Structure 1
Amino acid sequence: MVDILIFVYENFFTSGIYPSNTTLQTRLFAAGFNEKEVNLALDWFDHLDQLSNQSGNSQPNETIRCLHAHEQEKISASVWGFLLFLEQNSIISAIQREWVLSSLMSLDVNEIDVERVKLITLMILWRQGQSSETLLLEELLHEHEFLLH
């Protein structure tokens, strides 16, 4: 799914417009992604929309979030630190942090790197239309230029 997120970022992000699922599906198939990958990605975006509609604006959260043992297996200290940095600096809310964590845990990889966290967070913010936070995170993404390789 990460490859699809990179494709969506590279092809649609700068326009500031998120395409309809039908348009996105057509473009993803044309780019050579298989049906299973495309459906997973579209389901992920739909799930984000549902979460956004349910939660509305979140208030600052004063609770402490600890990772479960199975989360600790995939989420390194640097990834967790980065997520906390984003939350503490009001780039993402506590609810958005949970969406990022949920998305990271659903990836079929053993360990998550910070660049994937940045990409997933960027996609969540973009999908929710939070442009100022998105611009800051985009700057962080390009700091490592992992998408250009």
Structure 2
Amino acid sequence: MYDILVYLFENYYTPQACPAADVLTRRLVAAGFEHEDIDDALGWLYGLAETTERCVELAQSPATGTRVYADTEYAQLGSEAIGFVAFLESAGVLPAPLREIVIDRAMAIDESPVSLEKLKIIALMVLWSQEAEIDNLVLEELLDDEGGRRLH
């Protein structure tokens, strides 16, 4: 699924540039992706759209305060992922509403704790879905996996 998300980021400048789901599915199959991974990725992206829609109200109000993670969130995300979210937030890349979307999408995957590599892809896709301006250094950090290799 994550390879598909990176593929979409690399091949479509904005989410609106993506074709309809059926056309996108055919293109992903032609690119060599498995149907199960395609279904997972499209389902995850659908969840991203739903979560984003719910967080629209949050985006319009300034966020102050500290995010306290529930025990279930801490268990699912792990300290490394939470630390990276805090880094993105302190760097001004991830405002509170987008942070909540990243957390929601990370909680939606079947991995505990979420690896840093996967969290970076999740954060990248949330920022991409919002067409957010991403500083080049932060973009490089998001595209580097744990072994120092570029994801694309």
Range class of TM-score, shorter chain: 0.7 to 0.9
| Residues 48 and 124 in structure 1, CA contact (< 8 A), matched pair in contact too | yes
Amino acid corresponding to residue 139 of structure 1 in structure 2: E
Per the normalisation by structure 1, the TM-score is 0.78
Secondary structure at the residue paired with 1:64? coil
Matching of residues 116-131 of structure 1 within 5 Å: 116-130=118-132
Distance 2:42 2:149 in 1: 25
Which 5+ residue runs of structure 1 have no aligned equivalent? none
Q: Which residue of 1 is the match for residue 30 of structure 2?
A: 30
Distance 1:58 1:89 in 2: 20
| Residues 2 and 116 in structure 1, CA contact (< 8 A), matched pair in contact too | yes
Higher helix share: 1
Could you say what the CA RMSD is over the residues aligned between the two structures, in angstroms?
A: 2.5
Kindly state the Cα deviation for residue 137 of structure 1 after the two structures are TM-superposed. Answer: 3.2
Q: Which residue of 2 is the match for residue 46 of structure 1?
A: 46
Which 5+ residue runs of structure 2 have no aligned equivalent? none
Q: Which residue of 1 is the match for residue 151 of structure 2?
A: 147
Amino acid corresponding to residue 141 of structure 2 in structure 1: L
Identity %: 29
Distance 1:120 1:134 in 2: 17
Q: Which residue of 2 is the match for residue 133 of structure 1?
A: 134
| Residues 77 and 112 in structure 2, CA contact (< 8 A), matched pair in contact too | no
Kindly state the Cα deviation for residue 65 of structure 1 after the two structures are TM-superposed. Answer: 1.8
Amino acid corresponding to residue 44 of structure 2 in structure 1: W
| Residues 76 and 112 in structure 1, CA contact (< 8 A), matched pair in contact too | yes
Q: How many residues align?
A: 144
Secondary structure at the residue paired with 2:102? helix
Judged with a 3 Å threshold, the aligned counterparts in structure 2 of structure 1 residues 45 and 74 are, in CA distance, closer, same or farther, namely: same
The answer to whether the aligner puts 1:82 opposite 2:102 as a matched pair is: no
